[in-house]
Amino acid sequence: MPRKDPLILGYAQALFAVAEAEGVLDEVEDELFQFTKLAESDRRVRDALTDPIVPVENKKAMLADLLGEKANPQTLGLLVFIVEQGRVRQLEGIVELLVQLAAERRRHVVAEVRSAVPLDGEQRERLKEALSKATGRDVELKVLVDPAVIGGIVARVGDQVFDGTIRTRLSEAREQLRSV
């Protein structure tokens, strides 16, 4: 794991310990990852959570409205804890380290995959096998549906990026035609 800010690492380890002790690490890790990506991409959510003028109680109510019954109560509780501690601006880094800690516990490496459409179980399994073969490590997928990916997928495993999008393939074909 790369060296990170000790404060962020401390929060990641604390969230990891709570989720693991409650026996919900896999579920909470995935929900925190998905929520972080939502907050990262939705400016209104991000701004409301990071605005120092918005009262903490309003932020907690917004989290309850967004997650409600859809998330594990531990996920909501951990997000509320981050809000109460005034660490929402560090949430992305905290969750990134939490995901790494959980993957290391399972002796896996995390692949963040962006796809235009949801992947079914068979597609996930084939992709997992291909990325494991390409990296030489057991891969754990974190799949995000991203409409900006017109077709295909983009996978990031550590510093490696595997770009199988239609946009990239068209660009490569265009370059090949130009060089002919």
Residues 113-137: b if buried by 16+ CB within 10 A, e if exposed: bbbeeebeeeeeeebbeebbeebeb
We report the CATH number of the domain holding residue 72 as: 1.10.520.20
- Please check whether residue 19 lies inside any domain of the structure: yes
Of 73, 103, 133, the last residue of a domain is: 103
Predicted pLDDT of residue 60: 94
- Asked if residue 128 and residue 60 are part of one domain, the reply reads no
- Asked if residue 127 and residue 98 are part of one domain, the reply reads no
pLDDT in tens, 12-70: 999 999 998 898 998 999 999 999 998 988 999 999 999 999 999 999 999 999 998 88
Total tally of structural domains belonging to the chain: 2
- Asked if residue 97 and residue 10 are part of one domain, the reply reads yes
Predicted pLDDT of residue 151: 81
Of 61, 79, 103, the last residue of a domain is: 103
- Asked if residue 81 and residue 119 are part of one domain, the reply reads no
Of 79, 103, 127, the last residue of a domain is: 103
Predicted pLDDT of residue 46: 92
Predicted pLDDT of residue 87: 93
160, pLDDT greater than 90: no
- Asked if residue 99 and residue 45 are part of one domain, the reply reads yes
Predicted pLDDT of residue 2: 44
The answer for residues whose C-beta is within 8 angstroms of residue 138's C-beta and 6 or more apart is: 106, 107, 108, 109, 132
Task: Give the chain's mean pLDDT.
Answer: 87
- Asked if residue 62 and residue 142 are part of one domain, the reply reads no
The distance from CA 27 to its chain's CA centroid, rounded to whole angstroms, is 13
- Please check whether residue 1 lies inside any domain of the structure: no
pTM: 0.70
Predicted pLDDT of residue 4: 67
- The CA R_g of the chain, rounded to the nearest whole Å, is 18
The share of the chain scoring above pLDDT 70, in percent, equals 98
5, pLDDT greater than 90: no
- Asked if residue 123 and residue 44 are part of one domain, the reply reads no
- Please check whether residue 23 lies inside any domain of the structure: yes
* CB-CB neighbours of 154 under 10 Å: 19
pLDDT in tens, 114-134: 998 888 999 999 998 988 888
Under a CB-based contact definition with an 8 Å cutoff, are residues 23 and 73 in contact? no
Q: Which domain holds residue 153?
A: 108-179
Query: How far, in Å, CA of 122 to CA of 150, rounded?
Result: 21
Give the mean model confidence (pLDDT) for residues 141-145: 89
With tokens 């790494």, the residue in question is: 100
